[in-house]
Each structure stands twice: as structure tokens, then as C-alpha cells.
Amino acid sequence: MTDELIATVEGHTGRLRLNRPRALHALTVAMCEGVLAALEDWRGDDGVRAIILDHAEGRGFCAGGDIRLLAESGAGDGSAARHFFATEYRMNHRLFTYAKPIVAVMDGVTMGGGVGIALPCRYRVATENTRLAMPETGIGLFPDVGGGWYLSRLPGRIGQYLALTGHRLDGAEAAALELATHYVPAARVEALKARIVAAPEDVAAALNALAEAPPAAPILQHRVAIDRLFASDTLEEVFAALAADGGEWATAQLATLRTKSPQTMKVSLRLLKDGARMASFADEMTQEYAVASRVVQRHDFLEGVRAVIVDKDNAPRWNPATPEGVSDHVIDQIFAPLPEDEAWRP
């Protein structure tokens, strides 16, 4: 185990607490390995009947993954980045297939890798502090950790909208889209955890006792516009639809898209199109691993990290700079299956 992850058993409840407060609990390889080890230990332990996944202290649930490690590796041979993705995706898959109930408490920032560990859980708690997003296109990445699976299964074209823009959902919006199963005011979260620890055989009762109806979800006000303007799986056509609309909301979305990586926006649309047809979550993760292993070594990711995280000038120079410059051939290369001996396995 690592001090970045606190794994304990309280009564008959396993506790997994992310513990990197200065990094908003962003995931490291050691944290992913720790989650995998704990889940394996508890899988056949009849003394552990339910699991709570949350953060130990500070703001945020989980802000994502170790982006600096990925960028440093991507600038070299990429082996450390591939190891990170392989381990993280095994953790995602283990959470997705785990038999015992897991409750993810998304009280705060839940982005990227945080979405990847929360959404596979049977119960997902949002609060008024929840800010859930897949903002990867802003740093030249794409919504991985199962994003192609989850986002492609949202109603209408909301998944495509979230993948391209990186829009941050609040707790009410996460609940409305069923990304969260329950909405619990933050003031009740500790009481919820205590109830689960006291009676882990009936997690649903504890959740139902403390959850409440969420406020109205602002994103639903734009549902018709999202379905119309983000209807195409071709990025150039999305840009054209937004430009032709000319309204205030559409103009704002177009301005947002113009700040994102054209390459990884196209990757995202392809990912969701394929993801909707995936037969299993494991198949989804196999494809995402192949895509991630290539994207992490491409110019746009290294440039996005430079602009947003290192230099913080927020002025990435994407290459190609426009959707038209990203050929179908490049996207096909990124999505090509890996050789059998390099492919991801659960």
C-alpha cells in the first residue's frame, strides 16, 4: 500500500480513501495498484460486505491521473505511460465487474481518472460540490478510462457534447443524466458513510434514507440544441452547425471548441461512435489502450500539457490547427489494433 491511498476495513465495510490532497487526489500508478490489491484481498473475504470509495481530506474527489508522468514518458519511449494506462484500465475494469457493492462518493472535483473510478461503481453519490467532467481534449488527450462506453450511452448527443467541450456537470446534472445514482447534500455525507459502515448489507437503504431530489439540471435546458448541433460524428459538420446557428449559446460552444485539440476531438467522436457498439467493457478498454498508447506520444498531448500545466499560458499550438487538417488516415492509424503481444488485457 501507499500513503497516497488509505485502505482499511471498518466493521464489515472496506474503505478506500484517495490521499493526495495537494494534487486533488489525482491517481498515480501506486494508487491504482493499491486499489487493485485491496479489491483482490476483499473479493473472497466474507467479512467485507460493501466498499466505500472516497477521498481522505481536502477538496475534490479525484482530479484525474498523473499527467506530468504521462507527458514526460510520452516525450520519450512512452513505456511508463503505457504501464500507467495498463494498470489504471485494469483497475477501471475490476471496479466495473466487482461483485460486492461499491459506493463512490463524488463530493467535489471528479474529472478524467476520477470519472474512471467512480462510474464503474454500483452506487455513485453526487453532492452540491460535485463537478464532473472529461476535459481531456483541452490538453490533447481524449475521454478514456471508459469514456467511450459511458458517454456513448447518455441520452441523445449529450455524450458527444461533453466529450468535445469538456463541460463541467454539477451534481444535479450528474444525477439527471444518471451518471450519479443518488444526490446527497454534502452535510449528510459523513452520516451516510457511518450508516453504510453500520449496515453494509443494506447499502441501498442508507442511500435512500439520506438522498434527496436534486435541484433542476441546467444542461437539460439545452438538450434540444445539443442534439441538433452535435448530431454529426464528423467534427467539421459540428463546427458548421454551430457557426450556422449563430445564437448566443451556439457561439459560446464554438468558441470553446476552437480552444481544443482538433486531433483529439476527432478521436473522441470516433471513440463514442465505436463505443456505442462495443460488446463488453473489456473490449472498450482494449481499444482505449491502443488509442491512448499512441495519443500520449503525439504532438498535441505534449503541447497541451506544456500550455495548460507547465507554462500555464493556456495557448496551445495544435498541429494540425484545424479540423480539416486532421485526416481520416491519421485517425485510422491511432485506432489501429495493437499487435497481440502488446494489447491490453483485463
- Does residue 65 lie in a domain region? yes
Which of the residues 136, 274, 288, 303 is marked catalytic? 136
- Does residue 16 lie in a domain region? yes
Q: What is the distance between the alpha carbons of residues 346 and 334, in angstroms, rounded to a whole number?
A: 21
pLDDT band at 36 (very low <50, low <70, confident <90, very high): very high
Which domain, by its residues, includes 87? 5-133+178-210
Q: What is the pLDDT of residue 304?
A: 96
Tell me the per-residue pLDDT of 234-280, one tens digit each, with 9 for 90 and over. 999 999 999 999 999 999 999 999 999 999 999 999 999 999 999 99
Average pLDDT over residues 1-23: 93
CB 226 within 8 A of CB 156: yes
Q: What is the distance between the alpha carbons of residues 111 and 84, in angstroms, rounded to a whole number?
A: 17
114 is catalytic: no
Side chain identity at residue 183, one-letter code = Y
Tell me the per-residue pLDDT of 283-310, one tens digit each, with 9 for 90 and over. 999 999 999 999 999 999 999 999 999 9
Q: Among candidates 292, 337, 315, which has minimal Cα distance to 113?
A: 292
C-alpha dihedral sign at 180, 181, 185, 187: negative
136 is catalytic: yes
Whether residue 130 has pLDDT greater than 60: yes
Q: What is the pLDDT of residue 2?
A: 64
Tell me the per-residue pLDDT of 136-176, one tens digit each, with 9 for 90 and over. 999 999 999 999 999 999 999 999 999 999 999 999 999 99
- Does residue 93 lie in a domain region? yes
> Other CB atoms closer than 10 Å to residue 8's CB: what's the count?
11
- Does residue 128 lie in a domain region? yes
64 is catalytic: no
Q: pLDDT above 90 covers what percent of the chain?
A: 97
Mean pLDDT of the chain: 97
Tell me the per-residue pLDDT of 183-230, one tens digit each, with 9 for 90 and over. 999 999 999 999 999 999 999 999 999 999 999 999 999 999 999 999
108 is catalytic: no
- Does residue 90 lie in a domain region? yes
Which of the residues 144, 170, 173, 274 is marked catalytic? 144
Query: Which string of b and e fits 170-180 if b means at least 16 CB within 10 Å?
Result: bbbbbbbbebb
Whether residue 1 has pLDDT greater than 80: no
- The number of CA neighbours under 13 Å toward the Cβ of 37 is 12
- Does residue 109 lie in a domain region? yes
Which of the residues 14, 34, 74, 113 is marked catalytic? 113
Query: What are the backbone angles phi and psi of residue 182, rounded to the nearest 5°?
Result: -145, 150
- Does residue 80 lie in a domain region? yes
CATH assignment at residue 203: 3.90.226.10
pLDDT band at 57 (very low <50, low <70, confident <90, very high): confident
- List all residues 6 or more positions away from 139 whose beta carbon is below 8 Å from its beta carbon: 67, 261, 301, 304, 305, 307, 308, 309, 316
Rg (CA), the chain: 20
C-alpha dihedral sign at 75, 77, 79, 80: negative
How many domains, the chain? 1
With vertex at residue 77, the alpha carbon angle to CA 74 and CA 82, rounded to the nearest 5 degrees, is 65
Q: What is the pLDDT of residue 164?
A: 98
Query: What are the backbone angles phi and psi of residue 52, rounded to the nearest 5°?
Result: -110, 130
Q: What is the distance between the alpha carbons of residues 155 and 133, in angstroms, rounded to a whole number?
A: 16
- Does residue 224 lie in a domain region? no
pTM of the model: 0.96
CB 317 within 8 A of CB 297: no
Which of the residues 34, 60, 65, 159 is marked catalytic? 65
